[in-house]
Amino acid sequence: MNKGYATDILPPLRIEKPDTAEWGRVSDVLVIGWGAAGACTALEAKAGGADVIVADRFCGGGASAKSGGVVYAGGGTQQQQKAGYSDSPEAMYQYLRHEAQGIVADETLKRFCDQSRENLAWLESKGAPYSHEVPPGGKTSYPQDGYYLYYSGNEQVPAYQSEYPHAPRGHRTVGKGHGGVVLYHHLQQACLREGVRVMTQSVARRLVIDNSGRIIGAELMCLPFDSKVAEKHRRLAARAEKLQNFSPAYCDRLRRRIADIEQKYAQPILVRALSGVVLTTGGFIFNRELLKSHADKYRRNFKIGATGCDGSGLRLGQSVSGAADYLNHVSAWRFINPPGCWPKGIVVNPQGERFCNEEVYGATLGHGICENQQGKAWLILDSKLRWQSIKQCLTGGYWLFQSGPALMLMLLGARKGTTVAELAGRCKMEAQQLQQSMDLYNQAIDEDKPDPLGKSSDYCQSLQNGPFYALDISVSSPVFPLGALTLGGLKVNEESGQVVDKNGCEIAGLFAAGRTAIGIPTNMYISGLSLADCVFSGRRAGRSLIHDNFKASGQSRLRQAESADHDLAVENL
């Protein structure tokens, strides 16, 4: 049995005479990874006339299907207009400049904003529904059922505002429960409906190159279609997905069994891609070696992603000299809203020093905790604010994943002190520093002055009523997980999505999209930005692979029938 569970990536296979090689499949475009980015790539290339194969180690979906299904869109979408908000591409661009911080070129960011409305409309054309109902009560980490448009980032935080009016841009896919499953279902069905060929339970082991170094395909290790071992592989993968953060050691064993099945039963199939290969396998949050090497401080975090997020696309790109960057960029999610009253407290480090504006988006707060405070922080409430928060959890209509941990933390996990000094002692803080943090905060409120760290007045409430409570919001909090997902990836030409090497030279025939590539959210994630980038970068790669005349396109279509038994039928999805 394999000691590890990450996909084994081998050096590229060189084929000197591609036209006479024994190809198991031939297509114009091969997409490796069938999440949102892969589906959008495949659909765009197919719409341009390409014959497209999309392959996935499992059955598709990946991290996209496990997400909240929020797409960050603006510039004046129909939903924004119906809700009464005025927005423009320029306003969206000016805000996102705060978040992107130059990770992508200004021209790329502008193009993303300019295309935002059309990309959301494109998703709607594929069956994904969106609506304009805005949740009451201001900011939230994720809106309740029945509400689908919300402020999903820092737009309302004074430091992030410009001369343009701010507007909500988080467009949650309409559907019961989390929207990720709904969104991915529509993308998946669109792929099948529009004739994209699918190879599931087919893991990419290595890329194939010709004598010039051009990427001309990939070797896939494919489980026997509709077999008992394939069904066992599927069941083990589904179980690992459900329990991945609740029983990590058990899930590690499940993943090793999955890898062992692949190693023992999967058969190699060479897939030729006449126009190019696109890598869309997600990030690497489930690759221990990569995390240890590039983002060691995040190994303890609650993992946001799927088993397939093991960096296989990244490593495939690197195997042919693709350059990677920002692998130390990880989004850490510490949401303290809801309950809506929590941001009225103060967040302090282990020394008792207040270090952030508590109303910021959860990934902004999480980044500050993990990058600057060694993963440790406390949320300080007084008696009045604690009871207000408990009431909100019980009556506010929040999701269970929002209210449950918050209640447990307040009722069972809080440190309590009759005085500030006593609370500091119980938390092993510096009493003088904690008292100073609270005094400065309270004084600004009492004197009607701006908050020292720029918090909006709506989120300021004097902390005067003892006893006082400290809630552990650190990475190590046992009842309040601090999630993380990776943001770095392969360097690409930002106009085409083509992978480049360390010298900036394009690698012929190789593209990347989604979290396998550096993109719009690589500096700082906000809710919906990753899925929006999957659409943007996926469609970009799909368009770039389309030519007026595909080489040997007749040959690729002729060979479709030769291997149809391995293509997944619609009813099996």
Q: Which amino acid is at 172?
A: R
Residue 371 has pLDDT above 50, yes or no: yes
Residue 571 has pLDDT above 50, yes or no: no
Q: Which amino acid is at 381?
A: L
pLDDT band at 138 (very low <50, low <70, confident <90, very high): confident
Q: Which of 442, 467, 470 is nearest to 455 (CA)?
A: 442
Residue 247 has pLDDT above 80, yes or no: yes
**How confident is the model over 50-54, as a mean pLDDT?**
98
To which H or E segment does residue 506 belong? Answer: strand 506-512
* Angle at alpha carbon of residue 337, lines to 425 and 340, rounded to 5°: 95
Q: Which of 91, 57, 58 is nearest to 74 (CA)?
A: 91
Higher pLDDT, 38 or 551: 38
Q: How would you class 322 by CB atoms within 10 Å of its CB: exposed for 0-12, middle for 13-18, buried for 19 or more? A: buried
* pTM (2 d.p.): 0.94
State CA 560 to chain mean position distance: 33
Residue 572 has pLDDT above 90, yes or no: no
The 10s digit of each residue's pLDDT in 343-364 is 999 999 999 999 999 999 999 9
pLDDT for the residue numbered 125 = 98
Domains and CATH numbers, the chain: 21-67+179-223+266-331+483-559 (3.50.50.60), 70-172 (no CATH), 228-261 (no CATH), 337-472 (3.90.700.10)
pLDDT for the residue numbered 551 = 43
**How confident is the model over 209-234, as a mean pLDDT?**
96
Residue 227: both structure tokens together: 């077999």
pLDDT band at 176 (very low <50, low <70, confident <90, very high): confident
Residue 4 has pLDDT above 90, yes or no: no
CA–CA separation, 177 and 174 (whole Å): 9
The 10s digit of each residue's pLDDT in 203-221 is 999 999 999 999 999 999 9
Q: How would you class 1 by CB atoms within 10 Å of its CB: exposed for 0-12, middle for 13-18, buried for 19 or more? A: exposed
Residue 196 has pLDDT above 90, yes or no: yes
pLDDT for the residue numbered 246 = 81
pLDDT for the residue numbered 38 = 98
To which H or E segment does residue 185 belong? Answer: helix 179-193
pLDDT for the residue numbered 573 = 52
Higher pLDDT, 560 or 140: 140
pLDDT band at 567 (very low <50, low <70, confident <90, very high): low
CB-CB contact of 71 with 531 (8 Å): yes
Q: Which of 330, 333, 285, 326 is nearest to 308 (CA)?
A: 285
pLDDT for the residue numbered 552 = 41
pLDDT band at 563 (very low <50, low <70, confident <90, very high): very low
- Coil/strand/helix, residue 377: coil
Residue 179: both structure tokens together: 């929207």
CA–CA separation, 533 and 547 (whole Å): 23
